[in-house]
C-alpha cells in the first residue's frame, strides 16, 4: 500500500512537471495584437505570407492577428485559443496556421459598390485612427501595427508636393489642428511596402511618418525593408 501511495505521488509529480513544461512556452510572454493595415489588394498575398508565418512560429494563446484594408474592413480577425491539457504549443500553432490559411483563402478583396463609393477610403492615416478607436482599450498590452503600402500613403490632403512646399512641421501642425493625429500610446508601428527601401523617395516620407508617430506617442516606430520583409518584421515583433 505504501508503494502504491509512493508511485501515485511520483505519477502526479510527473504529470505536474509535464504540464509545466508544456505550458512554459505559452507563459513566456503576454498576449499580443498584430494588426496589418494594407492600402491595396495586391499586397494581400505578401501580408498573408507574413501572417501565416507568424501563426506557425511565434504566437501564444491570446494573441490576435488582424488584417484591415483601406475600406476599414477586417479581412482577418483571429485569436489563438488556449491549449487543452497536455497539448503542446506546437500543435496549437499548427492548427492556428491552418485556421488563418483557411480564413485568408476565403477573403473577397473586391470592394462592394458601397465600399467603392465610400468616403472612408482615406489612406493609412485614417486607418491608424480606426485602429486606435478599435484596439486602444483592449486588454492586450503589446500592440503592433504593420502598415503595408504601395507608394506613399497618408491622408488624402497630404502628398509629396505638400511636404516639399510646406515642410513636415507645418503639415503635422495642420493635421493636429484638424484632430487627425491618432493617439498610439502603447503601440509599436512598423511601416513597409514596395519602394520602402528607395532612399530617394522615402527620405521625406520617413521624416513625415517619424514626426507623426512621435506626436502620436507611439512606443516604437521604424521603416522595414520590403526585400526581406518577413524576417525583418519577425525580428521587430519579437524585439519587445
Which pLDDT does position 202 carry in this prediction?
65
Residue 147, CB-side half-sphere exposure with 13 Å CA sphere: 27
Beta-carbon count within 10 A of 84 CB? 8
Q: What does the pLDDT read at residue 231?
A: 95
CB 189 within 8 A of CB 213: yes
Contacts of 16 (CB under 8 A, 6+ apart): none
What would the grid cell of residue 93 be?
Answer: 500553432
How does pLDDT run across 94-123, given as a tens digit for each residue? 999 999 999 999 988 776 655 554 544 568
Question: 10 Å Cβ neighbour count for 26?
Answer: 19
Average pLDDT of the residues of the chain: 83
> Which residue, among 25, 27, 94, 32, has the nearest Cα to 239 in the 3D structure?
32
Share of the chain above pLDDT 90, in %: 58
Reading across the β-sheet that carries 64-68, which strands appear in turn? Answer: 74-79, 64-68, 32-38, 142-148, 187-192, 220-223
Mean per-residue pLDDT for 180-194?
94
CB atoms within 10 A of CB 155: 20
Distances (CA, A) of 229 to 92, 116, 147, 220: 25, 29, 12, 17
pLDDT reported for residue 9 = 41
- Residue 173, all three cell numbers: 501642425
The 10s digit of each residue's pLDDT in 129-170 is 999 999 999 999 999 999 999 877 888 778 777 887 888 999
Nearest 5 degrees, angle CA 107-CA 113-CA 114? 95
The grid coordinates listed for 115 are 465600399
Amino acid at each position: 500500500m505504501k508503494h502504491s501511495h509512493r508511485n501515485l505521488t511520483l505519477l502526479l509529480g510527473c504529470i505536474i512537471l509535464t504540464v509545466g513544461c508544456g505550458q512554459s512556452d505559452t507563459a513566456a510572454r503576454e498576449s499580443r495584437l498584430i494588426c496589418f493595415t494594407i492600402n491595396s489588394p495586391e499586397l494581400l498575398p505578401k501580408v498573408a505570407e507574413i501572417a501565416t508565418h507568424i501563426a506557425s512560429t511565434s504566437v501564444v494563446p491570446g494573441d490576435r492577428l488582424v488584417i484591415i484594408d483601406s475600406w476599414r474592413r477586417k479581412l482577418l480577425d483571429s485569436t489563438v485559443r488556449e491549449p487543452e491539457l497536455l497539448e503542446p504549443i506546437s500543435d496549437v500553432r499548427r492548427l492556428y496556421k491552418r485556421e488563418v490559411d483557411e480564413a485568408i483563402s476565403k477573403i473577397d478583396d473586391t470592394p462592394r459598390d458601397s465600399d467603392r463609393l465610400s468616403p472612408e477610403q482615406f489612406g493609412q492615416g485614417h486607418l491608424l485612427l480606426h485602429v486606435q478607436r478599435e484596439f486602444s482599450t483592449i486588454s492586450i498590452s503589446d500592440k503592433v501595427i504593420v502598415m503595408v503600402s504601395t507608394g506613399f500613403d497618408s491622408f488624402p490632403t497630404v502628398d509629396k508636393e505638400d511636404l516639399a512646399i510646406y515642410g513636415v512641421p507645418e503639415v503635422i501642425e495642420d493635421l493636429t489642428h484638424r484632430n487627425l493625429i491618432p493617439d498610439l500610446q502603447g503601440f509599436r508601428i512598423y511601416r513597409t511596402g514596395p519602394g520602402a527601401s528607395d532612399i530617394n523617395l522615402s527620405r521625406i516620407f520617413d521624416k513625415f511618418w517619424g514626426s507623426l508617430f512621435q506626436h502620436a506617442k507611439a512606443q516604437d516606430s521604424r521603416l522595414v525593408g520590403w526585400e526581406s520583409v518577413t524576417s525583418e518584421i519577425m525580428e521587430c515583433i519579437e524585439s519587445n
